[in-house]
Structure 1
């Protein structure tokens, strides 16, 4: 019935695409009008559109004219006219939806339409890319078009200063990676001066390769961390102990990615450590290190999950095959891997700020994305981001030959068959792109090809710097390219070769060469080679195994057959592949083995469908993992938003006004709570006296009755004393306010850091609730709510108490320690998102002598910060 209805009415996607056609036709009808305009008249349209929007006209009502204007500008500036399907894609993106467009359909040019339209609001548009190279390339390439139309373009790159970032965000259109946008958000919420913030509102974002950013990377939150105290020797010790165990001492479930000691293992460890009970509280740290060492040895493989580069363990992104320098596994796992590989162990870090990609991108008023592969994840996009996915038809019919998978009994037989196929294709000059899922397999294939004398290039996480150049030339006559997963996304593979990159490469080697002559030479050569490649059937895509996700396989296939070009895709599999070994149906595997002849493959459409079912199973697991991460972060996100709003209030408001307002709230609550208890015949005068004394330094006379008039008395006294102790210094008001704001923000940041540490511990602890038939998430929500309420109560008290008790004449003693800690955090903030995700004090640097400008504070004297503790127990701790 459903199939019959689809035949009559079409699928939902087809119906929506058909609705776009009249809009595209209307844009066509405007083309002669805009073609008749002079350059100056066409440029002036931008100002006219802006005025209409300021006058209240909806953005969507201007869409046909804006699209027509930009298409004409594109023809004049770049020599490129948007296809009809690109117009459709642009309309979908403007709606705040996802446009799936096949590789080579021109997504970068498509995005210029909604980017231009939404930039007319002057509220800023963010274009999110997967790496710095694409951000820089697209901002320069498409920036020519935007600038010609009177819009400014900026680009956020790694290692930029705050001033440069701020200037880029002030532009109408800002390009950058998901990492940079996310880390700038976190850094802004750690700033101490309003004028140092770099971002403005989150208005409209278009995410390029949206599946990679919002799906693949969504399991890993963005974290800014600083150094914490901790002993790293325990990880070396744990590593040595685990090496002494046998397989029967642990239960390892590779399918669910779990590893834990069994009873025999615990008993053996207790013997090795010479302890009676490894689960005693005093052994909790070494037990945790042992558990992580077990995971490191059994669940993580070098050159698959990570590489060791320049004495450091660098994580490999499981979906893109790219290295992620600066990213570290949490909870001591990274230290366990460092101990396993025998490299220097970095100290564990303390979280200073964090956010998941899901919650970061959901802050945008309007979010959209584009990719070549999104349909298989449409459900997740809808559930998590409320984003609809639409498949845009290709500009020219797709004629690529997608062949059935070939399944072999062993990995050896599979690789031999793969190499035979490569040799066959290479013998006639047909370009071949080999897609692998790990560095290990790419190097295996490379060794086989080297033995047979087949010239080739390898692109994996070890050679990612040459990514775009290598991938761009994968369509050259006779080229054989081995690429890990989808390395080089965003770079077109042009059949015959990319003449511009070839000319640039030779010009870089030969400084005396004339670039224009080189470009002309390579253009002619590439055109001739393209004809030969087309005759040979286009680019051949060969996969060494199926990926966990159908999307990644589709991305690999999509590298061939762009814009109506011919092409071929074929996957070589074996029953030893991880996907089939762990997730394949047992009945399917038995049938395969029964029909296999040694060295010969099974090839049938039902096998491909069975493998696809296994992939769906894995995708479901990954979705649950991302959903699980988000469910916990949703709890944290509500708290984070509340805290950041409070912080902004302090940052932009008048510090002293805020102090007096919160002080009044504390006194009113204390007095009113006492009066309510008194009506119930309960007397708690001692608590009132203690609160007023500890927070406000107010001694309540024994004969003073507690009544509402006491509120004004305490506040008036506090305001007079507070103002007097600062005013007598004779400092400018802005200097005093900066001191007050610094102390306020420092105090609440310390409380927030402590709270995040508590939340991390709480999340680990509630996982055990499942064994007691309780829902861990429910327990986490309940307990985290209590912790956050306690935090909010503490924040007011700590800020008020510190500022009331602070002695300005001695403030350098307390502030110097605060500022030293703040400098460490700023290092971590600068490093986050680039280079390293840690901040360490420089080693072996001779300290400069410190000249004391204020009286020395004795270790047993009250700390000048006003905490009420002795100096040695407070800010003097750092000097002990």
Structure 2
């Protein structure tokens, strides 16, 4: 049974496109007139739109669309389709635009960014990685130049000077992580001239669903040098000897692991007869829990890979190495001990910001993606954003075949190989989407045994992704890849040069095979969307096993299925169970996002209070004003000795130091509080209420305490060679800082404590 996908002009809950459609005819008329202008005259027409109020009036919007369309035709040899103009107008209205893969989102984003910039709005076009930031900025530069708009881009290796210059441009292409790290570094600046990021204005977000939903709960971290966290290698060895289901148990979701009574007895015996749950051995218990988490829950080539002697995390939503990401320090060290690697550099967290808090700094948000309607609810709930669904330029005629269900992974794999052999004989290019690195390599090896050559794209070779994807549409090609979301390169039928396009079209186009359904229907849709671009023929099918993690983790009852029957499972009840398992997984992720947002909301409010005060110290000499008031005699003496400017400088450095030091300590307190707050559940108390009840009073005296410490330090400073020596008074910044993203937190560590104590009590009473 097949289902032909045809996008409608709109969907329930989406923004109406009627107001935009009414402008298409007059835009076409104005475009015809602009054809008569020279390039310089066209640039002048664009600049005539500059400087006025935003948003555009109707006549101005028509002029903008016509000018931009003609400029794109001349500079990029691409005349934007009507649907691309609809997308541009929706972005200018602050919407999240849903456009299918291959419909030209890069050009739509550039046109909208230029439209904002011509009204003197500063635009940050946020991408998912550095490669796309640079590629898109350079690709669209001719268009920007003709419109009189200055574009720029930022990469991980950009210097401070290059970053400052890039942010000064009209449109800055930058990855979300690099922007976040620049914001964090600015928050520790001690001189106004050191600031890099300007005040936020417009954020136009590529892959908006991934950034605003999937990564929203990911904290970006600025760390400073501190005593290294070393994992216990002996503990890692001990955990390796423990037996699953005997000494420890993993929950059905694969998120928590805990020792059994037998496991507790074994560990305590191997540690010399200790009482593992006594206060004396609390550190040992913490090391054990981390080692057990690393051993039982984090799988090599699934959650991370080993490359160049380092543990590199895999972005689960994209199937590639997550640059600069790491787990919290203790867990990171435990994984390194598990793999017998040298512990990486670590330190205390100086500051952090979630991706959600980062983008919410912008007064105006908009974005684009191929799958926005599936997350319309969280976009509305967390960002007050509405979705505009843009129809494809040509009808989509891709055939999405019904999912095939099998009892075991072995049967699923056999079915995959059989289908690949059949499709390959037709000459159709095939794209196989897998769940993780290990799976992609296993499938590739199986295909090799069948004498089927294939290209593999996963986290171990994602540097080659553009070249691999570009040829995935070649006649007879087979490509095995982890998640395709955010790859940024279209699969063109016939290969990168489309030399064999007609032959591939005649064969039926690209065939997408999903080797298992993803935890999110959006990821399924993004994989399907690689076929059938711009009206091309294509097909897709997903193969699922009842033992797949998605089903086993969300529907434990599925394990009781009688697998005696061979071949495909055609029972309609089981077919609907796959969709139900996916909805459960999506609900769990949504609740995790919502829960993270609830906890971080208070932290963000407190941080804003500190930042507002810090800005006054940095820009308005508030620190000098305060120490003058708190230490009048010492202040007057120092002014006489070294002058007012030097005293103001020292006061600023001292005050900023105590604000930053205080926030670092407060952040550590909040992290510790949150990790242990679930213990309050035993008393039938709401953890969030308890968190707020403890966090609010502690913060009340924050600014007063920072001021008192600054006054005390100022009173003790000495003068050396005509300069106030603040370092001698203890004002010392970390010798080095670095940035990373915290991928996840170990779940249930405190619950494990409770379970362990309960088992000990049960054993002793028995």
TM-score (normalised: structure 1): 0.79
CA–CA separation in structure 1 for the residues paired with 2:13 and 2:600: 33
Q: Deviations over 1:411-457 (max 9, x none)?
A: 12211221122222222321111100111110111111111221111
Aligned-residue Cα RMSD (Å) equals: 2.4
Q: 1:12-23, aligned counterparts within 5 Å? A: 12=12, 16-23=16-23
Q: Which has the higher helix share?
A: 1
CA–CA separation in structure 1 for the residues paired with 2:14 and 2:30: 25
Judged with a 3 Å threshold, the aligned counterparts in structure 2 of structure 1 residues 275 and 763 are, in CA distance, closer, same or farther, namely farther
CA–CA separation in structure 2 for the residues paired with 1:187 and 1:249: 45
Return the offset for 1:604: 7.3
1:804 aligns with 2:715: yes
Return the offset for 1:828: 1.7
Contact persistence 2:624–2:648 (CA under 8 A): no
CA–CA separation in structure 2 for the residues paired with 1:493 and 1:438: 21
Aligned to 2:107, which of 106, 109, 115? Answer: 109
1:416 aligns with 2:414: yes
Aligned to 1:542, which of 513, 522, 526? Answer: 513
What secondary structure does 2:606 align onto? helix
Q: Deviations over 1:50-99 (max 9, x none)?
A: 2333xx88577732221211111111111211111111111211121111
Q: Deviations over 1:330-378 (max 9, x none)?
A: 1511111111111112354311110111111111111111111121111
CA–CA separation in structure 1 for the residues paired with 2:575 and 2:107: 35
Q: After alignment, is 58-67 or 27-36 more displaced?
A: 58-67
Structure 1 unaligned blocks of 5 or more: 1-8, 500-525, 664-717, 835-880
Return the offset for 1:179: 0.5
Return the offset for 1:251: 3.3
Aligned length: 732
Judged with a 3 Å threshold, the aligned counterparts in structure 2 of structure 1 residues 554 and 603 are, in CA distance, closer, same or farther, namely farther
Aligned to 1:761, which of 650, 653, 672? Answer: 672
1:238 aligns with 2:240: no
Other-structure match for 2:142: 144
What secondary structure does 2:94 align onto? coil
Other-structure match for 2:586: 619
Q: Deviations over 1:543-592 (max 9, x none)?
A: 11111111111100000000100001011222221112222484x777x7
Larger Rg: 1 or 2?
A: 1
Other-structure match for 2:224: 226
Contact persistence 1:103–1:559 (CA under 8 A): yes
Contact persistence 1:398–1:561 (CA under 8 A): yes
Judged with a 3 Å threshold, the aligned counterparts in structure 2 of structure 1 residues 763 and 542 are, in CA distance, closer, same or farther, namely same
Judged with a 3 Å threshold, the aligned counterparts in structure 2 of structure 1 residues 741 and 775 are, in CA distance, closer, same or farther, namely same
Return the offset for 1:173: 0.4
Aligned to 1:207, which of 202, 205, 208? Answer: 205
Other-structure match for 1:737: 648
Return the offset for 1:813: 6.5
Judged with a 3 Å threshold, the aligned counterparts in structure 2 of structure 1 residues 300 and 553 are, in CA distance, closer, same or farther, namely same
Structure 2 unaligned blocks of 5 or more: 1-8, 743-766
Contact persistence 2:15–2:386 (CA under 8 A): no
1:456 aligns with 2:454: yes
What secondary structure does 1:16 align onto? coil
What secondary structure does 1:360 align onto? helix
Other-structure match for 1:822: 733
Contact persistence 2:98–2:369 (CA under 8 A): yes
Judged with a 3 Å threshold, the aligned counterparts in structure 2 of structure 1 residues 154 and 734 are, in CA distance, closer, same or farther, namely farther
Judged with a 3 Å threshold, the aligned counterparts in structure 2 of structure 1 residues 728 and 109 are, in CA distance, closer, same or farther, namely same
TM-score (normalised: structure 2): 0.91
CA–CA separation in structure 2 for the residues paired with 1:236 and 1:63: 65
Other-structure match for 1:670: none
Task: Name the structure, 1 or 2, with higher relative contact order (CA <8 Å, separation 6+).
Answer: 2
Judged with a 3 Å threshold, the aligned counterparts in structure 2 of structure 1 residues 656 and 783 are, in CA distance, closer, same or farther, namely closer
What secondary structure does 1:315 align onto? strand
1:774 aligns with 2:741: no
CA–CA separation in structure 2 for the residues paired with 1:488 and 1:453: 31
Return the offset for 1:390: 2.3
Contact persistence 1:662–1:796 (CA under 8 A): no
CA–CA separation in structure 1 for the residues paired with 2:286 and 2:685: 23
Q: Deviations over 1:169-189 (max 9, x none)?
A: 000000011111111111111
Q: 1:618-657, aligned counterparts within 5 Å? A: 618-654=585-621, 657=624
Return the offset for 1:638: 0.5
Q: Deviations over 1:20-69 (max 9, x none)?
A: 3113333233223333333222211233212333xx88577732221211
CA–CA separation in structure 1 for the residues paired with 2:532 and 2:705: 62
CA–CA separation in structure 2 for the residues paired with 1:660 and 1:92: 52
Contact persistence 1:740–1:803 (CA under 8 A): yes
CA–CA separation in structure 2 for the residues paired with 1:272 and 1:112: 63
Judged with a 3 Å threshold, the aligned counterparts in structure 2 of structure 1 residues 254 and 584 are, in CA distance, closer, same or farther, namely closer
Return the offset for 1:471: 0.8
Return the offset for 1:736: 4.1
CA–CA separation in structure 1 for the residues paired with 2:200 and 2:57: 17
CA–CA separation in structure 1 for the residues paired with 2:701 and 2:427: 70
